[in-house]
Amino acid sequence: MTTAAELLAGIPELAGAEPVTRVTIPARLEYTHTPGSAQTRFLTALPDKRLLAERCPQCTRVYVPPRGACPTCGVATTEQLELPHTGTVTTFCIVNIAAKGLNIEVPYCYAYVLLDGAHVGLHARVGDVPYADVRIGQRVEAVWNEERLGPSLASISHFRPTGEPDADPESYRRWM
Amino acid sequence: MSKQPVAVVGVGQTKHVAARQDVSIAGLVREAAVRALADAELTWADIDAVVIGKAPDFFEGVMMPELYLAEALGAVGKPMLRVHTAGSVGGSTALVAANLVAAGVHGTVLTVAFEKQSESNAMWGLSLPVPFQQPLTAGAGGFFAPHVRAYMRRTGAPDTVGSLVAFKDRRNALKNPYAHLHEHDLTLEQVQTSPMLWDPIRYSETCPSSDGACALVLTGDSGAARAPRPPAWVHGGAMRSEPTIFAGKDYVSPQAGRDCAADVYRQAGVTDPRRQIDLAEIYVPFSWYEPMWLENLGFADQGEGWKLVEAGVTEMDGDLPVNPSGGVLSSNPIGASGMIRFAEAALQVRGLAGEHQIDGARRALGHAYGGGAQFFSMWLVGSERPDH
Amino acid sequence: MSPAARSVDRHGRGRDVAVVAFAQSNHTRRTDQLSEVELVMPVLHDVLKQTGLTANRIGFTCSGSSDYLAGRAFSFTMALDGVGAWPPISESHVEMDGAWALYEAWVKLRTGEADTALVYSYGKSSPGSVRDVLTRQLDPYTLAPLWPDSIALAALQAQALIDAGLTDEPRLAETAVRSRRAATGNPHAQLRGSADPAELLQRPYEVEPLRRHDCPPISDGAAAVILAAGDTARALHANPAWIRGIDHRIEAHQPGVRDLTESPSTRLAAAAAGAFDAPLDAAELHAPFTAQEVVLRRALYLSDDVPVNPSGGPLAANPVMAAGLIRIGEAAALIHRGEAHRVLAHATSGPCLQQNLVAVLEGTNGNRNGNSPRSTDGTRGGAR
Amino acid sequence: MPPEVLSAPLIVEFPFTRSTGPVLGAFLTGLRERVVLGARGSDGRVLCPPAEYDPVTAEELTELVPLGRLGTVTTWAWNERPRPYQPLDTPFAWVLVRLDGADTALLHALDAPRHAVHTGLRVAIRWAEERSGAITDIACFEPAPDTAEGPAV
C-alpha cells in the first residue's frame, strides 16, 4: 500500500517533508438533557428518600426506576407507588478495574437489587460487607448519601446487608 | 411469494489490530470491500447497492459516517443503507443486504461493517455522562459480569469453564491470519491466573478492542453461477429483539435469542442443531458466553452448555467446533464483529477458511447479539443451494 | 452509473405493499417533559389503533433515529420500550431518517417473510444545537473541523441557484409563505401561517442569502407508519396507498465536487421508482430549505401545477430523522383521504441533498376525479 | 403531572485522533508546508480537497498534484454571526473555492467585507501562523490582490 511519504516523494516542493499520519481533532457538543416525565417523578422523590416506582396498568409489573413505558406492554406506567428501602441481591459482580470518569474506588460490588415489591432489579452498589460475603439472595437495605441528596440516583450511596436470613430463591427467581 | 435464494460469493476482512494508524476510516472499510470484491472477482460496477453497519457513531465521532464513505464504497449513484442495531449490527447488516437479494430488489449487493475504535475510545463512547444517572460500570464487561455469575449459580458450572473457552479461542486465533490477538505463548494457567477484572470475569476472558472491517458480496442464482469459487448459500436468517430491561427478563438465556435461533432452524429445516450443524461462529465477547449461548441456541440442554465445553466438544477437533476463527475473544471491531461471525461461517462452508478450516463443514451458524443481550441476528449458511 | 438497469424492476413485479396507517406527533420546538419513548409511544398507539393491530401481530418493526441528535449512544434501545417488544419481535434499526427504515421494511415485506410492518422514527432536536450537531456528519478530515453548520451549507447551495438564475430571494420567500400557509390545515405542523413575502424579505439574513423563513423550524417530533402487503393491506384499509415504486441513491459527499443546482440522485431514484411513468397529483418533498425545493422540482420535472407539500412540508415542521418518513406518511394520507390518486414522496439525508429517496404511492380506485390536495392559493392541483 | 422539568447539561467532548491514510496525510502535510495538493481523478479532473477514491469510478487515487495558491469563488454565503469553532470569529463568507489547477471546489471561510464578496471573486489563501497538518492550517481565504491573474470564471 502506498504511504503518504511515497506520495510526497513525487512532489518536489514536499519531497522529504515529515508526513502527517495522524491528526487530533477535538469536538465538543453541548446538550441539555431532560429525563422525561416518568424519570422526573422518580428522581424528584429521591431527595426525600422516597423510592417511587410505577406499575403497568396491563401486566401490573412494578418498575423502578420507571422509564415512561412498560417495555413489554408498550403502554405508559402512570400509577405510582412507593417502595420500601429493602430488597434482595439477585446477582452481582466485583469490579476490580477503575473506569475513567466513574470516580468509584475499586474494588466495589455492583449488584442488581430487587426492591421489595418491584419486578426489576435496581442497579446499585453493595457495601459495608466483605465482598467475599456478598451472596445472591442476600437481603439488603438502602444507605442514603446524606450529603448528596438530590434528584439523582447518587442519592443512594449503596445498599448494605440487613442481617436477615437470605430470601427464598423462589421470591426473586423470575425477577433478576 | 417465495424468496430468491441468496449466496455469499465474496468475503473480505482486514487484519484486526488495536489501531490501524496507516489508514483513514475510508481506507479501512475500503480494504475489506476490495478483498470481498476480489474474492468474488467482481468490480465496483457489478454492485447494485451497498448496506453498511457499525455500532454507535460516537465510537469514531462521525455522525452517519456512511455519507462520507459513499465514494470509498463505490456507492455514488447507488442505494446505500446504514444499519445500527448495537452489537448485533454486523449480523443485522448482512441480513438486510441478504433481504435485498431475497426480495428480488437487487441482483448483487455489497455489505460492509466496521469499527475504528482507535479514533476515540469505546469506554468513552459507551459511558457518556448522562445526567441524573449514577453509572456503576463502564463498558460491557461490568454490565455482563452479573449475568455470568447468574449463569454459574443457575447451572453449578465450575469456575474454570470460562478459562477453557478463552484458551481455546486464543489458540484458534493463531490459525487465523486476520485475528487481532496472536498470543503464541499463552498457557491455560496464564488465563486462569490473569487478573480478575469484573469478578467472575478475568482479563484473559475478555475481548480486545480492535480496528477492523468486514465485507461480503451477496448475490442470487445467476450471480452464484458465475462465481469463481464455491458460494455459501443462506439457508435461514433472522433477527429478534426484546426490551433492554423488563420484568422477567432472562439475562442468562434471553427469549429473543431462543426465538431467533428457532426461526433460523425452521427456515433451514434444522430439527437437531447439535447434529445437523457442523460448526458455529458465536458472538462470545466474554468467554462464559460460549456455554450460555450453546444453551440459548439449542446446542445443549438448559444448564448443560458448560459440559460441552469441558468435554472439548467445541474445540477445533470436537464435534461442534465453536469459533474456529478465534471469535470475538480474539478480534473485536465492535460494529464488524457480528459480520465477521457471519463471514467466517460462510468461509467454512465454502471450504475457504484456510488453516482454521473445519474439514467437511457443510452447514454453519453465524450469530451476533447486542444491546443489553436483547438484539439477536443469526444466519445459517450451507454449501448446498437450499431446495425450497 | 446505472445499476437500476441491472436491478429487478421495482414497480412491475413482486409483492404489492401499501401504507395503511400514518400518525405523527404535534411537532414543537421543545418537548422537555418527554423522554424519547414518551414522545414516540402515543404515535405508535395511534397507528396501531387505526389498523386494529397489536404490536405482537406486526410481522416486522423498523425504526430510524440518531444517537448524535440525542447525545447518547444506543439511544434507540430505550425507545423500543414504547413498542412493547414482548414476546420478542423481528426488529431492525437504521441510523437514518425513518424513510429508510420504511425502505428496509418494504424490502422485508417483499421477501414474503412478513405481511405487516411497523415503521417509526423520532427526533428530538431540542437537547442540542441541531445546526452544530449536523456538522459532525461531514468529512471528518476536511469539513467537520471547520464546523460549517447546516444553514451555511444550504446557503451555499441557495447562492449557487441564484447565480445560475434558477431562483431569487423573492421567489424563495414565496415558497416559504406557500408552505406555511398550507400548514394552516395541518394540526401537527409547528409553523402555521406566514406573513407576506414582502414583509419576510425585510427581515435579517441567517446566513445570506437565506433568511429565517428559508430555514426549517427546529422541531421535536415522531412519526409512525404501518405497511401491509397484498390482501392484508386491503383488509386493513379501504383505500391503501400502494407503494408503486421506491428507490434511493447517494451522491459524492463533498459539496465542492457536486453541481449544487442539480440532484442526480433524486432523478435516478425517481426514475427507478417509476415517478416519470404517469402524471402526479401532488408531491411531498423533504426540502428543509426553500432553495432545495427548487433543486428537487428540477430533478423531478415537477411542473408548477403539481401541488408541493400540501402538508406544509419540512418548512412547517422538521423533526430531524422523522421528517422524511412524514413525507411518505403525508403522501399516503392524501390517498387515504381520497384527495389524490398518485403522489410522490421524497426524503433526503446528508449535506446539500447528498442522499435522496423517492417513493411513488397510488390509490387503488383511481379517484382521479376526487378532490385535489388542499393548496393555499385555492387552485386545484393534479392538472393533467 | 411532573412536578418540575429536570434538566442538566450533557457535554459530549473528545479529542478524536484520526489516522489519515496516504492521500489525506499527504494533503495535510502539504498544508503544513503551505502547498495545496489535489488528486487527479480517473477522468483527468483534479479534485481538491483530494479524494481518496474517485467519486465516479470508485478507483483509488494516488496521483497528487500541487495547486495554485489562488482560486476562484464558485459560490458563497455570508455569515454575519459566526458560531463557535468556525474559522473566524468576525463576520465572514463561507465559500467554495476552486483553486487554480483544480476542477472541484474546497469549502472554507473568506475574510472580506460583505460588499466585496461575489461568485467569481479571485481569492488567495491566508495561511495560519502555526500549522500542524490540518485543514485549519488554511486560516481562511482573502481577496486576491488586483494584479492576481487567473483563469476566467
How many domains is chain A partitioned into structurally? Answer: 1
Q: How would you list the strands of the sheet with A62-63, edge to edge?
A: A62-63, A51-55, A79-83
- Minimal-distance CA residue of chain A relative to B145: A93
Query: CB distance from B30 to chain D under 8 Å?
Result: yes
Residue A95 covered by a domain: yes
Residue A15 covered by a domain: no
Output the nine-digit C-alpha cell for B19: 489501531
Q: Do B136 and A156 touch (CB under 8 A)?
A: no
Confidence of residue D151 (pLDDT cuts 50, 70, 90): low
Exposed, middle or buried: residue A171 (CB in 10 Å: 0-12, 13-18, 19+)?
middle
Sequence-separated contacts (24+) of C230-236 with Cβ below 8 Å? C230/C15, C230/C16, C230/C115, C232/C115, C232/C116, C233/C16, C233/C17, C233/C18, C233/C20, C234/C364, C236/C20, C236/C21, C236/C51, C236/C52, C236/C53, C236/C116
Query: CB distance from D138 to chain C under 8 Å?
Result: no
H or E stretch at D124? strand D122-127
Q: Do A18 and D9 touch (CB under 8 A)?
A: no
- Minimal-distance CA residue of chain D relative to C32: D5
Q: Do B130 and D10 touch (CB under 8 A)?
A: yes
H or E stretch at C103? helix C98-111
Q: Do B71 and D54 touch (CB under 8 A)?
A: yes
Q: State residue C9's pLDDT score.
A: 39
| Chain B residues touching residue D12 (CB < 8 angstroms) | 58, 128
**What does the alpha-carbon distance between residue A107 and residue A95 come to, in Å, rounded to a whole number?**
5
CB C350, CB C153: distance < 8 Å? no
Q: State residue C275's pLDDT score.
A: 98
Helix H segments across chain B?
25-40, 89-102, 122-126, 139-155, 161-173, 188-193, 221-226, 255-268, 273-276, 289-296, 305-310, 327-330, 334-350
Residue (of B384, B290, B258, B284) closest to B340 by Cα position: B284
**What is the average pLDDT score of chain D?**
94
Name the stretches of chain A with pLDDT < 50. none
How many CB atoms within 10 Å of residue D44?
A: 8
Helix C290-299 and helix C169-182, axial crossing angle in degrees, nearest 10: 90
**What does the alpha-carbon distance between residue C247 and residue B96 come to, in Å, rounded to a whole number?**
15
Those of residues 66-125 in C touching chain B at CB distance below 8 A are 66-68, 71-74, 76-78, 80-81, 85-96, 100, 103-104, 107-108, 110-113
Domain that holds residue A61: 37-172
C1-362 classified as CATH 3.20.20.70? no
Over residues B200-256, the pLDDT tens digits come to 999 999 999 999 999 999 999 999 999 999 999 999 999 999 999 999 999 999 999
Return the higher-pLDDT residue of B100 and D147.
Answer: B100
| Chain A residues touching residue B61 (CB < 8 angstroms) | 25, 27
Residue type, A39: Q
Query: CB distance from A151 to chain B under 8 Å?
Result: yes
Mean pLDDT of B338-359: 98
Diameter of chain A measured on Cα atoms: 81
Q: State residue C2's pLDDT score.
A: 36
Query: How far does A72 lie from chain C, in Å, by closest CA?
Result: 4
Q: Do β-strands C116-124 and C60-64 pair in parallel, antiparallel, or remain unpaired? A: parallel
Query: How far does D34 lie from chain A, in Å, by closest CA?
Result: 10
Q: How many residues does chain C have?
A: 384
**What does the alpha-carbon distance between residue D37 and residue D66 come to, in Å, rounded to a whole number?**
4
Those of residues 229-268 in B touching chain C at CB distance below 8 A are 238-244, 246, 254-256, 259-260, 263
Radius of gyration of chain D (CA): 19
Output the nine-digit C-alpha cell for A106: 475499586
Residue (of C216, C209, C215) closest to C156 by Cα position: C209
Confidence of residue B178 (pLDDT cuts 50, 70, 90): very high
Residues near C293 by Cβ (< 8 Å), separated by ≥ 6?
C175, C285, C287, C308, C309, C313
**What does the alpha-carbon distance between residue D31 and residue C37 come to, in Å, rounded to a whole number?**
47
Any idea where the domains of chain C sit in the sequence? 1-362
| Chain D residues touching residue A11 (CB < 8 angstroms) | 26, 30, 35, 37, 64-66
CB D52, CB B23: distance < 8 Å? no
DSSP B309: H
DSSP C239: S
Of A3, A96, A101, the CB nearest to B127: A101
Query: CB distance from B67 to chain C under 8 Å?
Result: yes
**What does the alpha-carbon distance between residue B22 and residue B20 come to, in Å, rounded to a whole number?**
6
Per-residue pLDDT of chain C (384 residues; tens, 9 = 90+): 333 333 333 444 579 999 999 999 999 999 999 999 999 999 999 999 999 999 889 999 999 999 999 998 899 999 999 999 999 999 999 999 999 999 999 999 999 999 999 999 999 999 999 999 999 999 999 999 999 999 999 999 999 999 999 999 999 999 999 999 999 999 999 999 999 999 999 999 999 999 999 999 999 999 999 999 999 999 999 999 999 999 999 999 999 999 999 999 999 999 999 999 999 999 999 999 999 999 999 999 999 999 999 999 999 999 999 999 999 999 999 999 999 999 999 999 999 999 999 999 999 864 444 444 444 333 333 333
pLDDT above 90 (res B133): no
Residue (of C9, C17, C12, C11) closest to C328 by Cα position: C17
CB C128, CB C69: distance < 8 Å? yes
In this predicted complex, what is the ipTM?
0.97
Of D14, D20, D24, which to mutate for an interface test with B (greatest number of B Cβ within 10 Å)?
D14
**What does the alpha-carbon distance between residue C332 and residue C280 come to, in Å, rounded to a whole number?**
13
Radius of gyration of chain A (CA): 24
Output the nine-digit C-alpha cell for B48: 447494485
- Minimal-distance CA residue of chain D relative to A29: D12
Confidence of residue D103 (pLDDT cuts 50, 70, 90): very high
Helix H segments across C164-299?
169-182, 197-200, 230-236, 264-272, 290-299
Q: State residue C372's pLDDT score.
A: 45
- Minimal-distance CA residue of chain A relative to B140: A99
Mapped onto helix, strand or coil, the DSSP state of residue C284 is strand
Confidence of residue B121 (pLDDT cuts 50, 70, 90): confident
Q: State residue B388's pLDDT score.
A: 60
**What does the alpha-carbon distance between residue B10 and residue B46 come to, in Å, rounded to a whole number?**
12
| Chain C residues touching residue B76 (CB < 8 angstroms) | 250-252
Q: Do D29 and A41 touch (CB under 8 A)?
A: no
DSSP A67: -
pLDDT exceeding 90 applies to what percent of chain A? Answer: 89
Q: Do D24 and B129 touch (CB under 8 A)?
A: no
Of D18, D22, D62, the CB nearest to A23: D18
Residues near B215 by Cβ (< 8 Å), separated by ≥ 6?
B10, B11, B12, B13, B29, B32, B33, B35, B36, B110, B111, B112, B113, B339
Diameter of chain B measured on Cα atoms: 58
B7-122+208-226 classified as CATH 3.30.479.30? no
